């Protein structure tokens, strides 16, 4: 196909495209290779096996997601602002680059079980950032949670749940996607904030 960009990148690119377009079950080494115009076994020059290829794909996406979140968090000042920036960063990434976000969870259960733990830890950069932000919020008495680490994990989980329902089109057709998202995220966020005024 393209002579310029290295084969390894072409493989990753094509895989991601395939995965997102045709779904995970119809992603085969031979098809990837075919699309690129190369023999199937060439892939094994760059990846140990299909698992390794998928893991690399995940890793890439996780990295990009992390960067996106960190970037969003940077330009915020004050814990509440940063708190919201992180969450919105997550959601925005999921919807702006669904083909990358989806990879992280699409492959999940099967390949993920074999995903090396130490690589998974990479995703924790954002986790630490969120924890730090929460702790900061607690210190300034604007966020109220018992265990920041638990809360942070819970937030990721909830966010993923909400986002994936929308992305996988499992949402009731009577419900507006944007509204659902806004409302859900809002609920997640507000639950952790110290309420300012109560009527």
Residue with Cβ nearer its own copies (10 or 27): 27
Residue 161 binding its own copies, by CB under 8 A: yes
- Coil, strand or helix: which one is 143? strand
Residue pair 159/90 in contact (Cβ under 8 Å)? The answer is yes
Q: Which of 108, 96, 102, 111 has the alpha carbon at shortest distance from 21?
A: 102
Which of DNA, its own copies, none binds 20 (CB below 5-8 Å, type-dependent)? none
Residue with Cβ nearer DNA (108 or 160): 108
Residue 112 binding its own copies, by CB under 8 A: yes
Long-range contacts of 150-158 (CB under 8 A, 24+ apart): 151/192, 152/127, 153/127, 155/87, 155/130, 155/188, 155/192, 156/90, 156/127, 156/130, 158/188
Residue pair 45/39 in contact (Cβ under 8 Å)? The answer is no
- Coil, strand or helix: which one is 53? helix
| Region binding its own copies by CB under 8 A among candidate stretches 1-9, 33-41, 85-93, 109-117 | 109-117
Find the binding residues for DNA in span 19-58 (CB under 7 A): 26-31, 33, 38-42, 44-45, 49-51
Residue with Cβ nearer DNA (26 or 96): 26
Residue 171 binding its own copies, by CB under 8 A: yes
Residue 175 binding DNA, by CB under 7 A: no
Percentages of the chain per state (helix, strand, coil), in multiples of 5? 75, 0, 25
Q: Which of 5, 23, 74, 96 binds its own copies (CB under 8 A)?
A: 23
Which of DNA, its own copies, none binds 149 (CB below 5-8 Å, type-dependent)? its own copies
Residue with Cβ nearer DNA (42 or 88): 42
Residue 7 binding DNA, by CB under 7 A: yes
Task: Tell me how many residues contact its own copies (CB under 8 A).
Answer: 47
Taking residues 93 to 122 in sequence order and writing x for each that binds DNA by CB under 7 A, - otherwise, the string is ------------------------------
6, 70, 185, 92 alpha-carbon torsion, rounded to 10°: -40
């Amino acid at each position: 196909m393209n002579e310029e960009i290295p084969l390894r990148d072409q493989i990753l690119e094509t895989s991601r495209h395939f995965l997102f377009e045709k779904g995970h079950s119809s992603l085969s080494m031979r098809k990837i290779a075919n699309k690129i115009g190369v023999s199937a076994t060439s892939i094994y020059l760059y990846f140990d096996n299909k698992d390794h290829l998928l893991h690399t794909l995940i890793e890439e996406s996780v990295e990009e997601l992390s960067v996106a979140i960190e970037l969003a968090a940077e330009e915020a000042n004050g814990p509440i602002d940063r708190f919201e920036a992180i969450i919105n960063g997550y959601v925005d990434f999921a919807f702006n680059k669904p083909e990358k976000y989806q990879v992280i969870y699409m492959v999940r259960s099967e390949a993920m079980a074999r995903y090396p733990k130490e690589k998974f830890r990479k995703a924790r950069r954002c986790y630490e950032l969120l924890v730090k932000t929460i702790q900061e919020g607690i210190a300034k008495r604007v966020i109220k949670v018992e265990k920041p680490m638990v809360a942070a994990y819970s937030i990721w989980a909830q966010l993923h749940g909400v986002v994936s329902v929308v992305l996988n089109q499992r949402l009731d057709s009577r419900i507006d996607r944007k509204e659902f998202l806004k409302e859900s995220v809002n609920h997640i966020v507000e639950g952790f904030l110290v309420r300012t005024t109560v009527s």
